[in-house]
Structure 1
């Protein structure tokens, strides 16, 4: 299929910019073809729990257990093999072979077995010449491998990024784009394209200069349906804190909400419900946060031995409904301090979501003002349903929250018709430093996020950015300076801003980009650390940087 237009209207008010579309000008990317994967995948993968200790019996036992214990019927309908399923060498005709000791009946047989149990079949490969485990990679065999997988009944391929080296004068980032772009072309030409899970961004995460990471994230939504963007979740046998690992990947995900749209999902990695290093509240938080993100819910655990408590939260219908919401918005930060993260998003039926995480080590009580959720206090009463216990609050000014250490609560808030308006509201923060834009009198600064109302902003459909703490004031450009001014009802361009998929906030009047340091406008650069910002969910992306 060939592209008919370079600027396409997408669900949720997003625009695919001409610059982004030009990355792969010949094919339709996933955000242009959301019907391939309209909601994030749910299922099982062996890696975090078993790594290379995989075999046919593990997958048949897993399928049997998920079909009988309710997980399949709850939506977990994918079973994916990870690395180390292969033979050491390709066949004489170049095709991949499975390890016949691990899979004595063969992968076509396994694919058919999974299908009869009501599951889709997914598999793993690598963009390099070898996989991370040292098995044959797909470099120079992409089309053959894709067609081989399809003949085995596979409809989902995870392509890792080990053993990729810059070639032909390309930079390493360009090499990944070239290889994953080729995978995109191969899959797009198939009669039934495979779902494409990309691991490229993970190989650029964690560096002090994040320009390459941001650049890779710019093109992965065009190439595939989901992307692993950061470090692996802690494996079952790994050293370290499982909770710290979850929080690390949670943190990365909060930096990337602008990329997510129906058909493409940010992937913060697996759910690990049987990890012995997690408390019950930490397990539930892991699940609730991923559901609030509309992230993939891929379990990596020994499914037949999951406890009743684990089964109960993994099967929570209300949270799964949030995860699978067709709007596909990712929850974003409305407020953050040293202990609490408060996140919000909208749902397809107009409801508003509130998720509160206690990162601290003591029980916390707090009140969340409804204005922080983009709602109005004047004459409105809202219904807030606790998605864990089903309890209901009627609220008109704030939502009362009490959380144990490392616990998370999620409220689904229904809006009366007369009070259904929502303004995207939350933090404007630098995704490299983590500092929050802070209002103070007529000036603005970047400061450590402290949970104060002065750090919460509303972004209107006309492009104005207004602090909750200073009614009637708007963020404005004054030459190269940035300050607060009385909002100009005539629509001054100095008070209008555009927000691009690159994370740049550009002033309409000057064309300069908001820059951290002393707050100022500078020439928009190539996704510099100082110029990439996270904004509230629901903010419309503009064309250009």
Structure 2
């Protein structure tokens, strides 16, 4: 959330050495799904805007769209509620409850419906006295709320940090929540928002969270996409060492299909978020999405780069006035590379080689364009690869080593 945090966030394990880290076997590849926040925010006016308000109707319809529109088959499996789903007060037993007017059938019934579609159900909470929008927070109720989530059939908990009480709450709260979720014996992905903390230890954080929101909230803005991208590049060595199967970075929402991104910009966000190995959560209106934007979101070749089981985070290896290049190591000796242009005037040509792309494990690679779905050809280390990149656009390739017999011959020839 972008609402003001009430205290500087801090993480420490020094007094919690007996607490076990998160080892729930989940999120072996980056989680994928849909979340309501960026697109629908805290719209609770169901009387005047029933189509777009935060209600069980909205989440049921998004579950239908995810299941029936090809998204589930592509790997998007979570329908995630964000802030403003709750009643303003807990019940007489101190339990959380959804707003009774907007969720008249309760969350167990909603979870059952989402599960009937072959999908998973997530919700939002904040590790403080209140959520960012002022609804009941989890502090003082960690174990009870975790049990409630399990009873409802929740599959993911996204934990924010608004209205926290300072460092003891932030450190102990998140760690205790991680433990409480494991103790429910239900597989629940734990997604943590550690944004705005000063000098966090991402490796230690990853011991307790399946995904980690590292930086600022996404807005429906190309400038915000670039701002988040640049931060990830500046932190890439630290983040790459902390990320991997079971503990992925979260660059925040894909805004593809909302109001501001052009076609080229949408391709760029999809490619860059995938090569960074961020979790992929859309926040858009799947009921009425532009078919061209939907095609980007359903690009199975690009998604496969994100979901590569090796789980390595891609890094920016080159940047000049127009271009930057990101490269990701993948399974079986393959690589993905994104050539991204920040030019705004016209398409520009970019010439590179496998060696320049730091794709050097094999003497010969078969290269494929993942947006054109077209094989480009075979390239030795110093062969020139020239591409034309549209303004704010990308060319995304996958380089796969050729068969071992060819490789051995080329190595012998010294090529």
Shorter chain as denominator, the TM-score bin is 0.7 to 0.9
| Equivalent position to 1:243, from 191, 209, 222 | 222
Aligned to 1:372, the other structure's residue is in SS state coil
Aligned to 1:333, the other structure's residue is in SS state strand
CA drift at 1:357: 1.0
Higher mean C-alpha displacement, 51-60 vs 132-141: 51-60
Aligned to 1:81: 81
Residue 213 of structure 2 is aligned to residue 220 of structure 1: no
CA drift at 1:155: 1.4
| Equivalent position to 2:42, from 52, 58, 65 | 52
Q: Deviations over 1:210-239 (max 9, x none)?
A: xx2333x2421011100111111015xxxx
Q: 1:222 to 1:132 in 2, by over 3 A?
A: same
Does the CA-based 8 Å contact 2:203-2:241 persist in structure 1?
A: no
| Equivalent position to 1:392, from 367, 372, 375 | 375
Structure 1 segment 169-188 matched on structure 2, within 5 A:
172=167, 175-188=169-182
| Equivalent position to 1:278, from 233, 239, 261 | 261
Structure 1 segment 165-314 matched on structure 2, within 5 A:
165-166=165-166, 172=167, 175-200=169-194, 202-204=195-197, 212-215=198-201, 217-235=202-220, 242-254=221-233, 255=235, 256-314=239-297
Q: 1:191 to 1:391 in 2, by over 3 A?
A: same
Instruction: Work out which structure has the larger RCO, using CA pairs closer than 8 Å and 6 or more positions apart in sequence.
Output: 2
Task: Report how many aligned residue pairs link the two structures.
Answer: 378
Q: 1:420 to 1:157 in 2, by over 3 A?
A: farther
CA drift at 1:89: 0.4
Aligned to 1:196, the other structure's residue is in SS state strand
TM-score scaled by structure 1?
A: 0.66
CA drift at 1:45: 0.5
Structure 1 segment 53-68 matched on structure 2, within 5 A:
53=43, 54-68=54-68
Residue 41 of structure 2 is aligned to residue 41 of structure 1: no
Does the CA-based 8 Å contact 1:370-1:377 persist in structure 2?
A: no
CA drift at 1:253: 2.4
Structure 1: runs of 5+ lacking an equivalent: 1-19, 167-171, 205-211, 236-241, 422-545
Structure 2: runs of 5+ lacking an equivalent: 1-11, 44-53, 409-415
In the alignment, the residues of structure 1 paired with residue 300 and residue 152 of structure 2 have an alpha-carbon distance, to the nearest angstrom, of 32
Q: Deviations over 1:125-180 (max 9, x none)?
A: 000000000000000101111110111110110010111122xxxxx4x5422221
Q: 1:420 to 1:293 in 2, by over 3 A?
A: farther
Aligned to 1:180, the other structure's residue is in SS state helix
CA drift at 1:21: 8.7
Q: 1:90 to 1:301 in 2, by over 3 A?
A: same
Does the CA-based 8 Å contact 1:350-1:420 persist in structure 2?
A: no
Residue 399 of structure 2 is aligned to residue 413 of structure 1: yes
Structure 1 segment 338-349 matched on structure 2, within 5 A:
338-349=321-332
Does the CA-based 8 Å contact 2:86-2:135 persist in structure 1?
A: yes
CA drift at 1:349: 2.0
Aligned to 1:141: 141
Aligned to 1:311, the other structure's residue is in SS state helix
Residue 387 of structure 2 is aligned to residue 401 of structure 1: yes
Q: 1:219 to 1:377 in 2, by over 3 A?
A: closer
Aligned to 2:306: 323
Aligned to 2:151: 151
Aligned to 1:188, the other structure's residue is in SS state helix
Does the CA-based 8 Å contact 1:353-1:411 persist in structure 2?
A: yes
CA drift at 1:381: 2.9
CA drift at 1:261: 1.1
Structure 1 segment 390-539 matched on structure 2, within 5 A:
390-393=373-376, 394-396=378-380, 397-416=383-402, 417=404
| RMSD over aligned Cα atoms | 2.1
Q: 1:104 to 1:399 in 2, by over 3 A?
A: same
CA drift at 1:27: 4.6
Does the CA-based 8 Å contact 1:177-1:219 persist in structure 2?
A: no
- Structure with max Cα Rg: 1
Aligned to 2:46: none
Does the CA-based 8 Å contact 1:126-1:161 persist in structure 2?
A: yes
Q: 1:420 to 1:335 in 2, by over 3 A?
A: farther
In the alignment, the residues of structure 2 paired with residue 355 and residue 296 of structure 1 have an alpha-carbon distance, to the nearest angstrom, of 17
Q: Deviations over 1:30-76 (max 9, x none)?
A: 4x55x211011111100000011211111111111122111111111
In the alignment, the residues of structure 1 paired with residue 26 and residue 14 of structure 2 have an alpha-carbon distance, to the nearest angstrom, of 21
Does the CA-based 8 Å contact 1:253-1:266 persist in structure 2?
A: no
CA drift at 1:323: 1.0
Aligned to 2:104: 104
Q: 1:249 to 1:68 in 2, by over 3 A?
A: same
TM-score scaled by structure 2?
A: 0.86
Aligned to 1:29: 21
| Higher normalized strand content (fraction of residues) | 1
In the alignment, the residues of structure 2 paired with residue 419 and residue 163 of structure 1 have an alpha-carbon distance, to the nearest angstrom, of 61
CA drift at 1:103: 0.8
Structure 1 segment 118-129 matched on structure 2, within 5 A:
118-129=118-129
CA drift at 1:252: 2.3
